[in-house]
Amino acid sequence: MRKHLIIGVALHLAATSLALGQTATGVIRGSVQDGTGAVITDVHVTLVDERRNQSWDQTTNSEGFFEFRALPFGDYRLQLERPGFKKEAITDVGLEVAQTVTLNVTLQVGSLAESIRVQADRGLLETSDASLSQVIDDTRLLALPMNGRNFMQLVSLSAGAITAGRASATQRQANYGPAFSVGGQRDNTSVVLIDGMEISGQELNNYPLAIPPLDSLAEFRVQTANYSAEFGGNSGAVINVVSKRGSNAFHSTLFEFLRSDALDAQDFSAPPSIHSSGINSLSSSRSASGPSATRSRATRAR
């Protein structure tokens, strides 16, 4: 009995971890047809992660449909081939955190020795998802000024997000700054996920229990309304964060952030007796990333 209980708990934890991890991944799917609009079955579809050279393989089903699920964010290349048609490669297929990308491909009659190469169109309108959200990418994470290198200060860049009153006592003690509200909800109704795991707590008004280093983050999505059931549990926003991944090249960063009142200018309205703000901080960090070994997987769309 004890053995069965331990096995049951282990399986439950494993299934929970898998379900949580899926919230940060994306989907690339689509259909294949010929010039007349008829679907094409048994097309060999290969999806390649251009930055890491990892690949997945599928063949289209009886409806000409293919779907790659649980994909990490990144830039992909889609390759399609079937005897009697020209090969086609679609490059620059961008996939953001928790995004679904739909590609409808038309193959042209010809020889496999002939090939067509096109660039994916990154449209501004999301046609695969009815939720309201905005992605804060790595460009803004690194370029915009943030007090204390706290990425949560960028949540207010999203539509419908405002600063909402005072922070909790624990937030003030940790120098997290004020709370925020999204879509008119209370400031304690949002949730923060990193790589699919929740890291927020009620004692911090659903702020992260620990702020991850800025250099470890790749991007995050602020979902404000109409998000799917996998993000249920709160009525506010879902801040979905993903950390950086390795690549085929080695990279490293090193920084030191210094804030000293000795370097501050005197406040114009401050009394002459006050010569410093008393605000001092020093933080430093380093990070490194590089290639890792992975295996390709072959599946068939159902």
What is the tally of structural domains in the chain? Answer: 2
Q: Which of 267, 266, 262 is nearest to 281 (CA)?
A: 262
Strand partners, 44: 59, 81
Domain check: are 136 and 120 in the same one?
Answer: no
Asked whether residue 270 is assigned to any structural domain, the reply reads no
Residues 189 and 74 in one domain: no
- Angstrom distance (rounded) from CA 68 to CA 59: 11
CA-closest candidate to residue 232, choices 23, 26, 14: 23
Q: Tell me the C-alpha distance between 108 and 256, whole Å.
A: 55
Position 253 in a domain: no
Residue 263 within any structural domain of the chain: no
Place of tokens 């960090």: 285
Instruction: Based on the fold, state whether residues 43 and 147 are members of the same structural domain.
Output: no
In a domain, 297, yes or no: no
CB–CB of 188/244 below 8 Å? no
In this structure, are 121 and 174 located in the same domain? no
- Three-class SS state of 155: helix
- Are 224 and 158 contacting, i.e. CB atoms less than 8 angstroms apart? yes
Residue 294 belongs to a domain: no
User: Does 221 lie in the same domain as 157?
Assistant: yes
SS3 for 27?
Answer: strand
For the ranges 70-79, 141-150, 246-255, the maximum mean pLDDT occurs at 70-79
3-state secondary structure of 80: strand
Q: Which of 67, 95, 126 is the last residue of a domain?
A: 126
User: Mean of the per-residue pLDDT values for the chain?
Assistant: 79
CATH code: domain of residue 176: 2.170.130.10
pLDDT digits (tens, 9 = 90+) for 259-289: 777 777 777 777 766 666 677 777 777 777 7
Look up residue 213 and give its amino acid: P
Name which residue leads in pLDDT, 63 or 278.
63
| pLDDT tens, residue by residue, 103-151 | 999 999 999 888 888 888 766 556 666 678 889 998 898 888 887 778 8
Phi, psi (rounded to 5 degrees) for 9: -65, -40
Residues 6+ apart with CB under 8 A from 71: 25, 26, 27, 28, 47, 95
Average pLDDT over every residue of 159-178 = 62
Q: What tokens does 227 get?
A: 């998000």
> Residue 160: which of 49, 80, 235, 103 has the closest Cα?
235
Q: Are residues 147 and 69 in the same domain?
A: no
The total of other beta-carbon atoms located within 10 Å of residue 9's CB is 10
138 with 74, same domain? Answer: no
CATH for 79: 2.60.40.1120
pLDDT reported for residue 186: 80
Which of 106, 126, 146 terminates a domain? The answer is 126
Looking at residue 12, what is its pLDDT? Answer: 39
Task: Give me the domain span that covers residue 81.
Answer: 2-126
Q: Are residues 69 and 167 in the same domain?
A: no
Beta bridge partners of 259: 281
Read off the tokens for 217.
């983050």
- Domain assignment present for 180: yes
